[in-house]
Amino acid sequence: MRIRCPHCGTRDNGEFSYLGDAAPARPDGMEAQPAAMHDYVYLRDNPAGPHRELWYHGAGCRSWLVVDRDTRTHEITGVSSARDVALSRRTGEVA
Amino acid sequence: MRYSLLSVMGQALRGQRDWKPQWRDATPKAEYDAVIVGGGGHGLATAYYLAKEHGITNVAVLEKSHVGSGNVGRNTTIVRSNYGLAGNIPFYERSMKLWEGLEQDINYNAMVSQRGVLNLYHSDAQRDAYARRGNAMRMAGIDAELLDREGVRGMVPFIDFDNARFPVKGGLLQRRGGTVRHDAVAWGYARAASDRGVDIVQNCAVTGIRRENGRVVGVETSRGFIRAKKVALSVAGSTSLLASMADLRLPIESHVLQAFVSEGVKPLIDTVMTFGAGHFYVSQSDKGGLVFGGDIDGYNSYAQRGNLATIEDVMEGGMALWPGLGRLRLLRHWGGIMDMSMDGSPIIDRTPIDGLYLNAGWCYGGFKATPAAGFCFAHLIARDTSHEDAAAYRLDRFATGHLIDEKGMGAQPNLH
Q: Tens digits of per-residue pLDDT, B345-374? A: 999 999 999 999 999 999 999 999 999 999
pLDDT in tens, B227-279: 999 999 999 999 999 999 999 999 999 999 999 999 999 999 999 999 999 99
When pLDDT is averaged across residues B190-199 and rounded to a whole number, the result is 98
| C-alpha A6, offset from chain centre | 14
Going by pLDDT thresholds of 50, 70 and 90, the confidence category of residue A88 is confident
Going by pLDDT thresholds of 50, 70 and 90, the confidence category of residue A65 is very high
When pLDDT is averaged across residues B167-180 and rounded to a whole number, the result is 98
| C-alpha B305, offset from chain centre | 18
Interface of A with B (CB under 8 A): 1, 12-14, 17-21, 34-35, 38-39, 41-48, 51, 53, 55, 69, 71-74
B47, pLDDT greater than 80: yes
Going by pLDDT thresholds of 50, 70 and 90, the confidence category of residue A29 is confident
Supply the pLDDT for residue B315.
96
pLDDT in tens, B295-310: 999 999 999 999 999 9
- A45 to chain B: which residues are within 8 Å by CB? 240, 244, 249
When pLDDT is averaged across residues B82-104 and rounded to a whole number, the result is 97
Residue B353: partners with Cβ closer than 8 Å, 6 or more residues away: B211, B214, B215, B216, B246, B248
When pLDDT is averaged across residues B326-338 and rounded to a whole number, the result is 96
Going by pLDDT thresholds of 50, 70 and 90, the confidence category of residue B179 is very high
- Is the minimum CB–CB distance between B298 and chain A shorter than 8 Å? yes
Going by pLDDT thresholds of 50, 70 and 90, the confidence category of residue A32 is confident
pTM: 0.96
ipTM above 0.90 for this complex? yes
For residue A18, the distance in angstroms to the closest alpha carbon of chain B comes to: 6
Higher pLDDT, A88 or B203: B203
Supply the pLDDT for residue B115.
98
pLDDT in tens, B145-159: 999 999 999 999 999
Strand-strand pairing, A9-12 and A17-21: unpaired
Interface probe for A, chosen from B258, B296, B301, B308 (most Cβ of A below 10 Å), is B301
Going by pLDDT thresholds of 50, 70 and 90, the confidence category of residue B1 is low
When pLDDT is averaged across residues B213-235 and rounded to a whole number, the result is 97
Supply the pLDDT for residue B314.
97
User: Is the CB of A18 less than 8 angstroms away from the CB of B298?
Assistant: yes
| Closest C-alpha among B183, B205, B250 to residue B37 | B205
| C-alpha B285, offset from chain centre | 17
Q: Can you tell me the distance from the alpha carbon of B35 to that of B223, in angstroms, rounded to the nearest whole number?
A: 14
- Helices B89-106 and B182-195 pack at an angle, to 10 degrees, of 70
Going by pLDDT thresholds of 50, 70 and 90, the confidence category of residue A89 is confident
- Is the minimum CB–CB distance between B409 and chain A shorter than 8 Å? no
| Closest C-alpha among B208, B204, B250 to residue B360 | B250
When pLDDT is averaged across residues A78-93 and rounded to a whole number, the result is 87
